Every structure is written in C-alpha cells, then in structure tokens.
Chain A
Amino acid sequence: MKSLPRLLWLLILLPISFVSCTPSNSSSASSQKNSAYIENKGSDTIVNLALAWAEEYQNENPDVSISVTGGGSGTGIAALINGTVDIANASRQIKSEETDQAKAKGIDPVEHVIARDAIAVIVNPENPVSELTLQQVSDIYSGKIKNWQEVGGEDRPIVRLSRETNSGTHVYFLETVLRLGQKDSKTLFSMDTLLLPSSEGIIYEIRQNPNAIGYDGLGYVPKDLKMVALARDAAGPYVLPSAATVNDGSYPVARDLYMYTAGLPTGAVKTYLDWILSPTAQEIVTKLGFVPVK
C-alpha cells in the first residue's frame, strides 16, 4: 500500500486541527467535582449574554459550574421538554403547543424575563436610506416594495435577508413587523427572502452588499453597519434603537428575553436566576448591547 504514509499523516494532522479549533469558551462546561451543575441551552440571541453571566457567576461561585449552548429558542425549549436542560433560553415566549407537549411529559415551564432586546433593521453604510416606517419594512419583506427607489434610496434591487425559521428572532420579526402585530394577518416573507443560518451570515452579506437589508438583535450589530431609524407610522417620530429608546417605549421593535425552567426553580438554579436580576448581572446586559430589565 503506497498510500499508507499519506493516510498516516492525515490521521496525525486531523486531531491536531480539531484541537486547535475548539472554542475557548467551552471551558464553562468544566469538571465534575463541583457541587452544582447547571445546563443552559437555547436562543442564539441570548447565548453570548448567557455565557458572560455564566463566566462571571462561576468566578464568584467556584462551586457552581454552568454549561451554556446555543441552537435557537425552539431547540432550547425542546430540550427543556425532553428534560435534558435546567434552563432554556428563549427570545420568544413559549408557544401553546410547546406548553402542551411539556404538560404531557409532566413538566410545567415557568417563565422568567431576564433582559430586553431591540431588533435593529440594518443596511449597508453606502445605502442612503436612513429611516423607514414599519409599514414600509413590512412591504419590503413581503415583496411589495422591490426597489430601494420606492423608499427614497438609489435605483437598486432590494435583497431581503432573514434568519432561518427556527430562530426566535425570525418569528418575532414576522409577528411584530411583517404582520404589524395583527394576529389574523396572513402576510408571509417574500419567497425570495434569503434565509441565512446565522447572525454572522447576515452581517457578512450586508457588509459587502449595498442592495441588502437585514435585521438582527441590537447586541449583534457591529459598528460598521448602518441601523435604520423606525417609526410606527409616517407621522414619525423616527427612532434609532438604543437602551434608552427601548426602555421609554419609543422604539417600536423591542421584546423581552426569557429563561424557562421546569417548574419553579429551586436550589442552585434559583440562586442563579436571582443573581441574574441583580445589578451586577444586569450591568453585563448593558455591556453586551442589550437592555436591562428594571
């Protein structure tokens, strides 16, 4: 076998490349000698915040170890229903079907509001459009408005970017912006809306494509992208998302972020959730670009 040495090389090199790729934050799932272990999973919107909290909390309480993973709100809640996590992170409220599934398994999901988030509508910095009404954003995403000229921009086609359907942000945007909060509305995303699997995908595309429009949690928008000021109707006022405008209610696309536990929290989980609402923890919320709960 002449190809054997090559194969050997591959066998040697592969594990090395894997090791060097392991993200450093996985250290939060640390050793088993600790007395308390909390499994925390769900929304990708919350994952950075949850990681920051877990790190800080473990510094203060070395006897507790917390493992944080993302995957999407639906994934987290499904895991809570299957009993594999202690806390599920969600950027949307639990659906009634999910509550039913949980009840069928003898689990009673309890909701905790842990922070607030604004959804920012973002465009390429070259795009001259800087304010839109919710109706205009809805018409852009449903496909009624196809060119930036129709909303006061350049003569360019509009490329609509969205998160995948398993994202809590996607569902929230559909209900609040596309359907303008009307429960009986059947408006859907235009079929040619690009569904990107991650926030990063949306940000990369908008950074280099002046035709693109996208949306993402305020905490994830990098400084080199342009946020659009939104208004509830044409009369204005057009408001940019920030902690202040979310808390005074003037920014129209803001939501609560949740953690769900199976039944009322007890023991280490309860202490952790109480700590999350403390001023120290809520300071981290501000640092990461989210809005603290008062």
Chain B
Amino acid sequence: MEKTLNWREFAITRLVRASGYSAIVFVTLIFFFLLREGLPTLTEVSVSNLLSLRWYPIEEHFGLLPLITGSIMVTLGATLVAVPLGIGTAVFIAEVAPRWAREILKPLVELLGGLPSVVLGFLGILLLSPFLRSFFNLPTGLTALAGALLLGGIAVPTVVSVAEDALDSVPRSYREGAWALGATRWQTIWRVTLPAASSGVLTAIMLGVGRAIGETMAVMMVTGNAPVLAVTPGSLFSPVRTMTATIAAEMGEVANGSVHYHTLFFIGMVLFVISLAVNLAASSVVFRAKQRAERVLS
C-alpha cells in the first residue's frame, strides 16, 4: 500500500514538474525560432530601410515604424478603454453587487470572453465603423479608434475575470477591519481591498494588454490597414496598420526564406520584445509594491 502511494507521489511530482518546465522550454524554443527566422533581416535589409516610413513589401519597402506605432496606438487606446471599464466591473461584481446579480454577471462576462474575435470584427465593420464615421464626421470609420474600442471590448472580459478573482481572494477580515474603523464603502474599496489585491489586479491588466496587442483578426478587419506613421493623438482618427495584422495578411503569400518572409518574422521578434518589456515593467512594479508593503509591516 505504502509503496504504491510512494510511486504515485513520485509520478505526480515528476508530471507537475515536467509540465512546469515545458512552459519554459516552449517559450525558449519559440524565441529561438523567431531569432533564427527573423535575424537574417538585419543583414538583408538596410537599417535605413527598416526605419523608413513606407511599408510596401512587394517593392522592397520595409519601413517598420508605421507598423510599430500603429500597434502601440491601438493597444494604448484599448488599454484606456479596458482598464477603467474592466476594473470598475470587477469591483462592482466583487464588492457591490448583490449575490444573485453576481451569479449572473460573472458567467456572462466569461461568455463574452469566449466570443470569437472574427464575430466582433464583423460587428465592427457593420456597426462600429459607420457609426464612428458619421459621429466624428471622419473620412472613414476604419480607424485606430475603431480598433481600440473593439480591442478594449475584447480585453474587458479578461481583465474583469482575473481582477474579480483577485478581489475575491482578499480576506473578509480586511474589509471588516476597515468598516470597524469607520471607513465608507468607497474608502474600503479604494484604500484597502484594491491595494491588497494589487498584484492580481495588475496581472489582470497585463493579461488584458497582452490580449489586445496580440489580437489580429478583429484589428485587421476594422483599422483599415494603411501603413501610416501614427504619432500624434490625431492619428487615433485615421487608419493604421498593426504588426499582427501585417503578419496575418502577408504570411500566407510569402515565399519561404525570402527577404519579406524574414522581415515578417523580424516583426514577430519586435512584438515579442515589446510584450516582454511590458511584462517585465509590470512585474517590477508588483515587486516594488510588495517590498514596500513588507517594509511597512515590519
């Protein structure tokens, strides 16, 4: 009896460890693959071409700046939509809503998260972009703004779901302590519950941003895909082309091993580095906040 238990213990720990390590191995492998396919770009395409303002690969124009700024513009916009809305909803579900409303809302939000982005992109083309065009009197509704709103909507369920779990796991005694000291409900949420769940809430934001920057289909359908440099706030109201849409639209057509092919992988590398930087920045913020909390408590 004891022997089988030991054996089981042994197998399970090994399995858990293997699946843990495999995540690291896969990410490393993906990164090396990206490097192998993307790095040749630096020898094949001149740096001045990569930093130029025109992306027109079938005539050897490989300017990446319009694509990078396009992605950043759309992602920033989506974050501005998704974070307040997502955290607000999470706070409402976890702290304010009565139990029955909560039982309905949480699964609804999660169902929203399961909607395929193509469907949302279709709604974007049919409803959102015509609306934006007439509302802001724009030449066309297929703009960075349409992409940002749609992506914000796509990221909200992720943010809500994770942030709500984090808020939910804050011990009840924290809130009771705050109430006992005479804090209002708002003060309790803003000064006690949210800070206590800060690392989980930040993870929620990061996952939301990650979902936004990596999203492809919906963005490709509504942003117009014009590779124009997007640096002024006014660019929000003009068409942009994102890195993901570029890869998705062009990867199917390129000849394996061509300059264009390598450049698309190079874009993938840039995307990878950007999301890595965002994640590192976020976890360092969480780390510092934790250190401060420990200092205060000790």
Q: A interface vs B, CB < 8 Å?
A: 6, 10, 14, 71-72, 74-75, 78, 97-98, 101, 156-159, 164-166, 171, 188-189, 191-197, 201, 204-205, 208-209, 211-212
In the complex, what residues of A have CB within 8 A of residue B252's CB?
71-72, 75, 166
Whether B56 lies near A164 (C-beta < 8 A) is: no
In the complex, what residues of A have CB within 8 A of residue B56's CB?
165, 188-189
Instruction: Known A-B contacts: A72-B253, A164-B250, A204-B125. Give 4 more (CB < 8 A).
Output: A98-B255, A159-B139, A166-B252, A211-B140
Q: Is the CB of B77 closer than 8 A to any CB of chain A?
A: no
The closest CB in chain A to the CB of B116 belongs to A17
Q: Is the CB of B25 closer than 8 A to any CB of chain A?
A: no
Q: Is the CB of B238 closer than 8 A to any CB of chain A?
A: yes
Q: Is the CB of B228 closer than 8 A to any CB of chain A?
A: yes
In the complex, what residues of B have CB within 8 A of residue A71's CB?
252
In the complex, what residues of B have CB within 8 A of residue A209's CB?
130, 133, 140-141
Whether B139 lies near A194 (C-beta < 8 A) is: no
Whether B255 lies near A201 (C-beta < 8 A) is: no
Least Cβ–Cβ distance between B116 and chain A, in angstroms:
8
Q: Is the CB of B221 closer than 8 A to any CB of chain A?
A: yes
Q: Which 9 A-B pairs have the closest CB atoms?
A: A166-B253, A74-B253, A194-B224, A157-B139, A195-B225, A159-B140, A208-B130, A192-B226, A159-B139
Whether B125 lies near A6 (C-beta < 8 A) is: no
The closest CB in chain B to the CB of A196 belongs to B225
| Count, A-B residue pairs, CB within 8 A | 87
Least Cβ–Cβ distance between A187 and chain B, in angstroms:
10
In the complex, what residues of A have CB within 8 A of residue B141's CB?
209
Interface centre among B126, B239, B253, by most A CB within 10 Å? B253
When A71-B252, A157-B139, A165-B56 are in contact, do A191 and B125 touch as well, CB less than 8 Å? no
Residues 88 to 108 of chain B near chain A (Cβ within 8 Å): 107
Q: Is the CB of B202 closer than 8 A to any CB of chain A?
A: no
Residue contacts A-B, CB under 8 angstroms, 24 given:
A10-B114, A72-B253, A74-B253, A97-B255, A157-B139, A164-B249, A165-B56, A166-B250, A166-B252, A191-B53, A191-B66, A193-B226, A194-B140, A194-B224, A194-B225, A195-B225, A195-B241, A197-B249, A204-B126, A205-B140, A208-B133, A209-B140, A209-B141, A211-B140
Distance A122 CA – B86 CA, assembled complex (angstroms)? 42
The closest CB in chain A to the CB of B56 belongs to A188
Q: Is the CB of B160 closer than 8 A to any CB of chain A?
A: no
Q: Is the CB of B176 closer than 8 A to any CB of chain A?
A: no
Q: Which of A78, A166, A193, A211 contacts B249 (CB 8 A)?
A: A166
Least Cβ–Cβ distance between A269 and chain B, in angstroms:
24
In the complex, what residues of B have CB within 8 A of residue A156's CB?
139
Least Cβ–Cβ distance between B108 and chain A, in angstroms:
11
Distance A171 CA – B58 CA, assembled complex (angstroms)? 9
Q: Is the CB of B210 closer than 8 A to any CB of chain A?
A: no
Whether A6 lies near B228 (C-beta < 8 A) is: no
Least Cβ–Cβ distance between B19 and chain A, in angstroms:
18
Least Cβ–Cβ distance between B157 and chain A, in angstroms:
13
Q: B interface vs A, CB < 8 Å?
A: 53-54, 56-59, 61, 66, 107, 110-111, 114, 125-126, 129-130, 133, 139-142, 220-221, 224-228, 238-239, 241, 249-250, 252-255
In the complex, what residues of B have CB within 8 A of residue A97's CB?
255
Whether B58 lies near A212 (C-beta < 8 A) is: no
In the complex, what residues of A have CB within 8 A of residue B239's CB?
192, 194
In the complex, what residues of B have CB within 8 A of residue A196's CB?
142, 224-225
Distance A212 CA – B141 CA, assembled complex (angstroms)? 11
Whether B125 lies near A192 (C-beta < 8 A) is: no
Distance A97 CA – B239 CA, assembled complex (angstroms)? 33
Whether B142 lies near A194 (C-beta < 8 A) is: yes
In the complex, what residues of A have CB within 8 A of residue B249's CB?
164, 166, 195, 197
Least Cβ–Cβ distance between A79 and chain B, in angstroms:
10
When A201-B125, A212-B140 are in contact, do A195 and B59 touch as well, CB less than 8 Å? no
In the complex, what residues of A have CB within 8 A of residue B61's CB?
188
In the complex, what residues of A have CB within 8 A of residue B129's CB?
205
In the complex, what residues of B have CB within 8 A of residue A208's CB?
130, 133
Whether B140 lies near A195 (C-beta < 8 A) is: no
The closest CB in chain B to the CB of A13 belongs to B114
Whether B226 lies near A191 (C-beta < 8 A) is: yes
Interface centre among B61, B114, B226, by most A CB within 10 Å? B226
Distance A14 CA – B111 CA, assembled complex (angstroms)? 11
Least Cβ–Cβ distance between B216 and chain A, in angstroms:
11
Distance A72 CA – B250 CA, assembled complex (angstroms)? 10
The closest CB in chain B to the CB of A5 belongs to B107
Distance A188 CA – B227 CA, assembled complex (angstroms)? 13
Distance A189 CA – B59 CA, assembled complex (angstroms)? 11
Least Cβ–Cβ distance between B199 and chain A, in angstroms:
21
The closest CB in chain A to the CB of B252 belongs to A75
